[in-house]
Amino acid sequence: MQWIICSAGRLTIFNSKLQMASASVFGQRGAMAAAASSSSAAADLSQPQMLPSSHERYKTGTRVWMVTANREKGQQVYVKADVYRTEETGGRTRVSMREVEGREDFTVVVPHQATASPHGHQMHEGFTLVERAPRNQSDGDTAGQHVGLFDLPPDVERDVVFALLGPDGLAGLRRTCTLGSQRVSEAYVKTQIDAQLVAKGLKNILSYDLPSVGHLLRLLHIIQQSGEWAATVPIVRVAVHQRRGGGKLPIELTSADVEGVGSRAVFEGRCEALRQLSLIQRHIGIPLERDSNGLERLDGHRLTIRPLLTLPANHPFRNGYDEANPVCQSDGIRNESASVRDVVLDRMGFGGSKVTDHRVQRHDPTRYNRLRQLATQPPPIWGCHTISTNHIRALGDFNRMILLHGGQPDDTFEAHIYIYISSDTSSDLADVYLYTTERPVIGVGAARFPETMRVVRQAMGADDIQVAFGSQLVVEVD
């Protein structure tokens, strides 16, 4: 593939292959072959190369980078554009490009034959073809001059070209190019990881201590391909409050965590929610593994992803299905969860100290029906969004965990409600539990957890507290 960068009226084209595809952050076979190929190519550099005419160097569909023109000076940015038309105009080619998902059009007229520049490049007005050519400079910076891999300004090389290459391409540069190993330094890769952590809201959730640039590049790839973490972060906080794994934030990722995600095929074959879990599993006390039969096992139990097409029209989890966090089966074929995150959170349903529990029978229909509604209606419940919902279809049973407190950065403890609804016609009942990680004080019953009582009253309201727990939470709180 050819990539083109137009900056300040100059159109730059370079070949992005560089034998990088075979050099993977997951250590795929072929890195040695890539290095050998690069060495062979280097031996040929001193030989003059015939340049194709301009109309052969790009064609309709080529993806390019352009600098916006229809903005005030100083406000221009790089945007992606596609070549949608080329026209021959008397020894020249008019290249028409359109911004991807935008409105701006670009046009560049390029001669068929380029002339040599004093720097060994083929140039003409408004166009530079960057060749693979021997350098007279050393591999380092001399006299304060930046020596780039692509003869581009340092910020373009760093912010545009390296971003296009991705972790695999950066790994390829390090393995096959001396200058690349200098440019793609440990410090540079760390800046990219840190930027990803900030962008995904993980700055104070994940940290890392890795022994090599290879591990850093692999972590960069994992985070980039792991999707959005906004719904996972509160679950991580719950695990920390319950003292699962290390029991503190930020989680410090090591080589064991990076290697624990498995091979590229395993990692990329998983949905985004499982990719995230594969990285942090040790730190939330819920192991995820792919067994010898190719089956997923979560916390020792078989986990099966349910594709949307396999869910009947009346399935309770069909609406709102998310490919990144799909419906799944656990504990065999009976227990279904609304999503992967739901089954993970459900594993924490009985963590902490039990404040109280209460049972409501079917012969109290007002309370029973309200609890069934709370256990089955779509989130949010009481304004709470971190919720797990599970269903045993054969029995019609539901169980749900509702996080009341503990998912935010300033929360000092975790509190949640767990509701179990049985639909067995011989013994319809609803069991409700209240758990907390608040440290108890001197007192009796629920009065030992005054902060939890404040949270419950604020979240649930007096009516639902009465429905769920009767008079058990009628306590004085200072």
CB 37 within 8 A of CB 51: no
Q: Is the pLDDT of residue 19 over 80?
A: no
Cis ω on the peptide bond leading into residue 250 (within 30° of 0)?
yes
Say how far apart CA 328 and CA 338 lie, in whole Å.
7
Average pLDDT for residues 320-339, to the nearest whole number? 89
pTM of the predicted model as reported, rounded to 2 decimal places:
0.70
Do residues 321 and 307 touch, judged by C-beta distance below 8 A?
no
Alpha-carbon span 392 to 75, nearest angstrom: 57
207, β-bridge pairs: 252
How much is the pLDDT for 160?
61
Residues 272-324 have pLDDT tens digits of 999 999 999 999 999 999 998 989 999 999 999 999 999 999 999 999 999 99
126-136 tens-digit pLDDT: 433 333 334 44
Q: Assess whether pLDDT exceeds 90 at residue 240.
A: yes
What is the structure's pLDDT at 141?
46
- Count CB-CB contacts under 10 A for residue 172: 27
- Please name every residue paired with 13 in a beta bridge, in sequence order, or none if there are none: 4, 129
- Cα separation, 21 vs 28, in Å, equals 10
How far apart CA 356 and CA 445 sit, in angstroms, is: 8
Tens-digit pLDDT profile for residues 363-414: 899 999 999 999 999 999 999 999 999 998 777 899 999 999 999 999 999 9
* Angle (CA) 358 360 366, round 5°: 130
What's the pLDDT score for residue 70? 67
Share of the chain above pLDDT 70, in %: 70
Q: What is the pLDDT of residue 148?
A: 55
Question: Alpha-carbon distance 120 to 132, whole Å?
Answer: 10
Instruction: Measure the CA–CA gap between 348 and 386, rounded to whole angstroms.
Output: 12
Please check whether residue 396 is in contact with residue 372, taking contact to mean a CB–CB distance below 8 angstroms.
Answer: no
**DSSP assignment string, 5-44:** EEETTEEEEEE--TT-TT--TT--TTHHHHHHHHHHHHHT
- As to burial, measured by CB atoms within 10 angstroms (0-12 exposed, 13-18 middle, 19+ buried), residue 478 is exposed
Tens-place pLDDT, residues 247-275 = 899 999 999 999 999 999 999 999 999 99
Q: What is the mean pLDDT of residues 162-172?
A: 68
Query: Which segments of 322-418 does DSSP mark as H helices, in order?
Result: 340-346, 365-376
What is the DSSP secondary structure assignment for residue 145, as one 8-state letter? Answer: B
pLDDT at 352 over 70: yes
pLDDT digits 0-9 by tens, 139-163: 444 444 545 555 556 666 666 666 6
Q: Which residues pair with 337 in a beta bridge?
A: 328, 390
Distance CA(69)–CA(133), nearest Å, equals 31
At 138 the pLDDT is 43
- Residue 459 near residue 436, CB atoms below 8 Å: no
**Residue 51's pLDDT band (cuts 50, 70, 90):** very low
pLDDT, greater one: 103 or 199:
199
Q: Taken in order 262, 267, 270, 271, is the CA torsion positive or negative?
A: positive
pLDDT of residue 30: 39
What's the whole-number average pLDDT of the chain? 80
Tokens of 204: 């104070």
Alpha helix segments (H runs only) across 327-410 = 340-346, 365-376
456 touches 477 (CB < 8 A)? no
Which tokens in the block code for residue 473?
């939470």
User: What is the C-alpha to C-alpha distance for residues 289 and 332, in angstroms, rounded to an integer?
Assistant: 16
**Cα separation, 288 vs 290, whole angstroms:** 7
- The torsion region of residue 74 among left (phi > 0), alpha (psi -120 to 50) and beta comes to left
Q: Is the per-residue pLDDT at 189 higher than 80? A: yes
Task: Tokens for 186, please give them.
Answer: 């440990």
